[in-house]
Amino acid sequence: MNLEPHRRALDHLQQVRLLTDAAHAAAVNDPELPNALFRTPAEALAWVVAREIIPQAQLADLPAHAAAGQENEAQAIVSEATDLISGELPLPPWALLHMRLLDRRVHDGVSANALDQLQALQLIDAAQHAHSLSMLPTHEEAWAAPDSLPATLAWTVLRSGALSEDELKALAGRTAHEDIVADAIARVSGARTEMRTTKTTTTFSIDSLNFTTSSSSSTSSLPSVPFALPPSSASQTRTFSWTSSSAPGPAPSRWKSKLIGAVVVALIALYFLFGR
């Protein structure tokens, strides 16, 4: 039976004994699993921690429970999972993981074989093929997505830079392989969904017990993939960001503005009470 990649990765963690039966059951029954972006065991383990099914503090001890003969694999999985939810950015584990998985999924289906086929179909030329070939991502073969011509063609725009978006669009109507080009254009368009980000930075003074707030807005290209916060997650940082659609709409109601202000003040208080 062919399982979904995320379910297969969770089952592997159970087999290696990095997940107990109870933790495995909690993960496969998690309501957010259908939206999960992970494919590999390390990504799955990081997701389990981000969903607070396993406390992050227990990660380092997991390899000690590994099945006999799988200790090295277990250690490698735990090390990668730890990296996925750790970093210099002052963000909680679920946010770091979400950003990194979004970036990794752009590489799914990208392969040397797919590049060869794209060149044979004259969708890329020899120079574009050579440039992209030199930048191919490294995949764990057992967990890699199947080769995909549309995904690889989109990747030449989004990551390798061998093609521009205009060059990709110019292929439409000029080739017998319009389905591949249309799919690639849709992937690029989805990855370039414009979102308007408003960043509110609050500076708190311990001496005067006062704080000042400044805001700035910018428009950037972000993939739009859902991710639900774990129910008890809280960000202990001094900088808070909200992302909303750039499409015009009615101004937020006054009670929403007050609610956001209250959340900012509460998070600042939590930072100074527990984050120092």
Specify whether 199 is located in the same domain as 183: no
Domain boundary among 170, 191, 212: 191
What is the extent of the structural domain holding 40? 5-105
> How does pLDDT run across 124-134, given as a tens digit for each residue?
999 999 999 99
* pLDDT of the residue at 258: 46
Give 245 or 183, the one with higher predicted confidence.
Answer: 183
**In a shared domain, residues 9 and 99:** yes
Mean pLDDT estimate for the chain: 78
Which of these three, 42, 74, 105, is where a domain ends?
Answer: 105
Among the candidates 149, 174, 191, a domain finishes at: 191
Q: Are residues 223 and 264 in the same domain?
A: yes
> Which three-class secondary structure string do you get for the chain?
CCCCHHHHHHHHHHHHCCCCHHHHHHHHCCCCHHHCCCCCHHHHHHHHHHCCCCCHHHHHHHHHHCCCCCHHHHHHHHHHHHHHCCCCCCCCHHHHHHHHHHHHHCCCCCCHHHHHHHHHCCCCCHHHHHHHHCCCCCCCHHHCCCCCHHHHHHHHHHHHCCCCHHHHHHHCCCCCCHHHHHHHHHHHHHHCCEEEEEEEEEEEECCCCEEEEEEEEEEEECCCCCCCCCCCCCCCCCEEEEEEECCCCCCCCHHHHHHHHHHHHHHHHHHHHHCC
- Same domain? For 122 and 208 the reply is no
Q: What is the per-residue pLDDT for 229?
A: 47
127 and 161 belong to one structural domain:
yes
Residue 196 has pLDDT above 70, yes or no: no
Task: Tell me the mean pLDDT in the region 19-46.
Answer: 95
Does the model's pTM come out above 0.75?
A: no
* Domain identity same for 180 and 219: no
Q: How many domains does the chain have?
A: 3
pLDDT digits (tens, 9 = 90+) for 152-170: 999 999 999 999 999 999 9
